Structure 1
Amino acid sequence: MSRIRPAIEVPLFTEPPPPWPVAAAEPWSWLPLDGDLTDEQTGLFVAVIAGGQTLTDLLDEETIIVPGGLVVDDSIHPGCCCGLEDWREWLDLLDGGHPWLGHSPDPVVEHRGGTLRVWQDGKTRDRYADIPRTDLFGMLRQVHRDLNAFLAVLGRWVAAHGADPALVTLIDQSLQISAPLGYPDPPGWPAAPPTPRWPPMSPSRSGS
């Protein structure tokens, strides 16, 4: 069965290392975001979004762009300039739309009746993954849960390292994580399990 995962692309770091533990990762590799990230992997995420800035400078930003997107089957990746903040555009596929997935390569999604074919490069068409159309909503709902679980991990990282909790709010708002999906469940679709929350037990945060 196909799987869709939210992930960020690890760049080639040219700045001095940040003052917190960071997991080792190859440049241009992908870091999936979910509730299983270690402290060092979470530190790597923060280093990627900081881009050499201090956390104080980062928090001066109203919103941030996070290099990445949704990865299909750990083999079909977003192209250049795609940002994880636009992950909800995949919901447009439910209505026949086409999300922009970056360039160089140029990933595209092709509507083929009951199948969504995701090409790594719409020009060469040499690698693809198929997603049953009826499975897409459930996959995106799982992406939503993975991101909410990651947000809880980030909250624990912030507390452990004495960082400003506003960092969690900035990531939540920039990546549109805790807001409901805003798309009705298909008829007969099973209810989603409870979504991890940040802060824990806060009635103001809810998933779908």
Structure 2
Amino acid sequence: MPVVAHLWDPPRVSQQSPSLEIAPAVEIYYDPDFDLWPTSSAVPGAHISLSGDLTDEQIGSVIHAGLHWFYYDDEQHPAATIEEYLGRAANREAEGTEIVVWGGPAFADTSTGVTMMPGCCVAFGERDEVYDFLAGRSAFAYLGHSPDTGLAIDADQILITQHDDEDRVLATIECPRDQLDAALAVMESEIEAFLAALPAWTTRHVPNHATALIEAITEGLRLSALIEKETP
């Protein structure tokens, strides 16, 4: 049964599709002068999709994206060494700060090429709002702004719609609910595969700070419920 179209519904950019993919997209911090470990060249607003097959440069960019809050001191002086940089991150609890990684689910209909990237000002861990919405615990899921992505449920169908700041429709994707659930499960497995690749990367590039760095990035990427479950 397709999603029922009402008079106020947006026009469909894609047809109902069994080709939904959801990638865990991390927004990369644009810092062309950073050289404490290998990173990918990036432009402002670029994203990297997490997986277990990223290059050392891509992994390095994801890590710097999560920790860059600690790279500069109060006077905006960058850390001169890895020890100084990661030392600041390790002291985050004493300073009352947290690891925040920008990004979230990137929706794609592979049969039409329709793609919806995460909006601005959404933290990676906030994807738990999608699960709350699907479970009926919340009336909506926040997925950032500029653009704004929304989810709607009608029976066993999901409608994903993305709008610009003037509420104009940029794209829509419609799919069965079970396909959305399956795509979300794949997304979570890609995140876990990325985390599983971190120990080898830290051995190569920051062997003296491996444990602290892995804990910090895990804090920024995993859902809060998973972090709490693993905390003694």
Q: TM-score range by the shorter chain?
A: 0.7 to 0.9
The structure with the larger Rg is: 2
How far apart are the structure 2 equivalents of 1:178 and 1:140? 16
- For the pair 1:112 / 2:154, whether they are aligned, the reply is yes
Q: 1:64-97 CA distances to partner (integer Å, 9 max, x unpaired)? A: 1101011001720121111111122221232244
Higher helix proportion (structure 1 or 2): 2
The equivalent of 2:218 in structure 1 is 172
1:43: which partner in 2? Answer: 60
Relative to the length of structure 2, the TM-score reads 0.70
Name the structure, 1 or 2, with higher relative contact order (CA <8 Å, separation 6+).
Answer: 2
Match of 2:26 in 1: 8
SS at match of 1:4: strand
Normalised by the length of structure 1, the TM-score is 0.77
Residues 109, 117 of structure 1: 8 Å contact kept: yes
Deviation at 1:177, TM superposition (A): 5.7
Structure having the larger proportion of residues in strand: 2
**Does the Cα contact within 8 Å between 1:18 and 1:47 map onto a contact in 2?**
no
What's the secondary structure of 1:126's corresponding residue? strand
SS at match of 2:217: helix
Separation in 2, partners of 1:136, 1:180: 21
Q: Quick check: 1:22 aligned with 2:30?
A: no
Which residue does the alignment assign to 1:196? none
* Amino acid aligned to 1:134: D
The aligned runs of 1:36-75 (5 Å cut-off) are 36-51=53-68, 53=71, 54-62=85-93, 63-73=98-108, 75=115
Q: Deviations over 1:86-120 (max 9, x none)?
A: 12222123224421011122211122333222222
- Is the partner of 1:128 in helix, strand or coil? strand
Root mean square deviation of aligned Cα? 2.5
Q: Unmatched 5+ residue regions in structure 2?
A: 1-18, 72-84, 109-113
> Where in structure 1 are there 5+ consecutive unaligned residues?
182-203
C-alpha deviation, 1:135, in angstroms? 1.5
Question: Which segment drifts farther, 124-133 or 64-73?
Answer: 124-133
Distance 1:115 1:23, change over 3 A: same
Q: Distance in 2 between matches of 1:88 and 1:99?
A: 8
Which residue is equivalent to 2:12? Answer: none
Alignment of 1:148 onto 2:192: yes
Cα gap change, 1:76/1:59 in structure 2, threshold over 3 Å: closer, same or farther?
same
Q: Aligned pair in 2 of structure 1 residues 150, 29: CA closer, same or farther (>3 Å)? A: same
CA distance in structure 2 between the partners assigned to 1:126 and 1:44 by the alignment: 29
* 1:145 CA displacement: 0.9
Corresponding residue of 1:185: none
Asked if the contact 1:86/1:175 (under 8 Å) is kept, the reply is no
SS at match of 1:3: strand
Please show how residues 86-101 of structure 1 align to structure 2 within 5 Å: 86-96=126-136, 97=138, 98-101=140-143
- Residue of structure 1 equivalent to 2:77: none
Change (3 A) 1:180 1:139: farther
Contact 1:144 1:177 in 2 (8 A): no
Q: How many Å separate the matches in 1 of 2:217 and 2:59?
A: 12
